[in-house]
Amino acid sequence: MRHIGRVIAFLLMAGMLVSMVAQGWAREGYTTAIYEGQIKSIKVDECGLQPGLCEGSITLAQKEGDDATLGIRRGTWIKRDDHFMTIDELKVGDRVKAQTFRIPGEAAPRAAILEFTSR
């Protein structure tokens, strides 16, 4: 029971942090958005020597609208239930919801938090 309370507290704090950072970025030209869909492709560009140090991008087939390509950088939170994952554990066909931000001058938004959704 304590574990669930800690997880909930952690997620609330993480959400507040993302919200505060997003508000600060908005003043500097950063924008945020939420994307939801099925992973259509995964591209790993670079990996470090330890798990979790890979980065790349995913393409989401969205229910409404065009496909969206999202950058997955080192440190992106990828979460399935109570387990954290890395980009190399994602699979084509997984359904996800991504909270993203876009840095001025970059073409694709970057995922800050990626969570799995029900099928």
pLDDT of residue 29: 66
d(CA 99, CA 28): 18
pLDDT of residue 58: 95
- Do the beta carbons of residue 102 and residue 30 sit within 8 Å? yes
User: Counting beta carbons within 10 angstroms of the beta carbon of residue 87, is it exposed (0 to 12), middle (13 to 18) or buried (19 or more)?
Assistant: buried
* Per-residue pLDDT tens over the stretch 42-63: 999 998 887 778 899 999 999 8
* Per-residue pLDDT tens over the stretch 62-112: 988 899 999 998 888 888 888 888 888 899 999 999 999 988 888 889 988
Q: Which domains does the chain have, with CATH numbers?
A: 31-116 (2.40.50.140)
Helix (H, G, I), strand (E, B) or coil at 106: coil
